[in-house]
Structure 1
Amino acid sequence: MRTGSVQRDTSETAIKVAVNLDGTGEYNVSTGIGFFDHMLEQLSRHSLIDLEVETKGDLHIDQHHTVEDTGLAIGEAVAQALGDKRGIRRYADALSPMDETLTRVALDISGRPFLVWKTEFSQKRLGEMDTEMFEHFFHSFAQTAGITLHIETLYGSNNHHIAEAAFKGLARALREAVEIDPRKAGVIPSTKGVL
Structure 2
Amino acid sequence: MRTATIARDTRETRIRVTVNLDGTGAYTVSTGIGFLDHMIEQVSRHSLIDLTLDVKGDLHVDQHHTVEDSAIAFGEAVSKAMGERRGIVRYGHAYAPMDETLSRCALDISGRPHFVWKSGFSQPRLGEMDTELFSHWFGSFAQAAGITLHLETLYGENNHHIAESLFKALARALRSAIAIDPRVANAVPSTKGILAGGSLAEGDSESD
- Bin the TM-score by the shorter chain: over 0.9
Residue 33 of structure 1 corresponds to 33
Residue 139 of structure 1 corresponds to 139
CA distance in 2, matches of 1:5, 1:75: 11
Report the CA distance between 1:108 and its aligned residue. 0.2
Residue 204 of structure 2 corresponds to none
CA distance in 2, matches of 1:121, 1:46: 23
CA distance in 2, matches of 1:122, 1:172: 25
Structure 2 residues not aligned, in runs of 5+: 196-208
CA distance in 2, matches of 1:182, 1:9: 38
Is 1:95 the counterpart of 2:99? The answer is no
Residue 58 of structure 1 corresponds to 58
Structure 1 residues not aligned, in runs of 5+: none
Is 1:148 the counterpart of 2:148? The answer is yes
Is 1:3 the counterpart of 2:3? The answer is yes
Alignment RMSD (CA, Å) = 0.4
Identity of aligned residues (%): 71
Instruction: After superposition, give the CA deviation of every residue in 1:3-53 in whole Å (9 maximum; x if it has no partner).
Output: 011000000000000000000000000000000000011000000000110
CA distance in 1, matches of 2:92, 2:174: 7
Residue 180 of structure 1 corresponds to 180
SS of aligned partner of 2:191 = coil
Between structure 1 and structure 2, the one with the greater Rg is 2
- Structure 2 letter corresponding to 1:77: A
CA distance in 2, matches of 1:128, 1:31: 12
Residue 12 of structure 1 corresponds to 12
Instruction: After superposition, give the CA deviation of every residue in 1:89-117 in whole Å (9 maximum; x if it has no partner).
Output: 00010011000000010000000001000
- Structure 2 letter corresponding to 1:4: A
- TM-score, normalised to structure 1, is 0.99
CA distance in 1, matches of 2:89, 2:122: 36
Report the CA distance between 1:184 and its aligned residue. 1.1
- Structure 2 letter corresponding to 1:187: A
Alignment length, in residue pairs?
195
- Structure 2 letter corresponding to 1:157: E
Residue 121 of structure 1 corresponds to 121
- Structure 2 letter corresponding to 1:145: A
CA distance in 2, matches of 1:34, 1:53: 13
What are the within-5 Å matches in structure 2 for residues 162-181 of structure 1? 162-181=162-181
SS of aligned partner of 1:55 = strand
- Structure 1 letter corresponding to 2:187: V
CA distance in 2, matches of 1:167, 1:12: 25
Residue 189 of structure 1 corresponds to 189
Report the CA distance between 1:134 and its aligned residue. 0.5
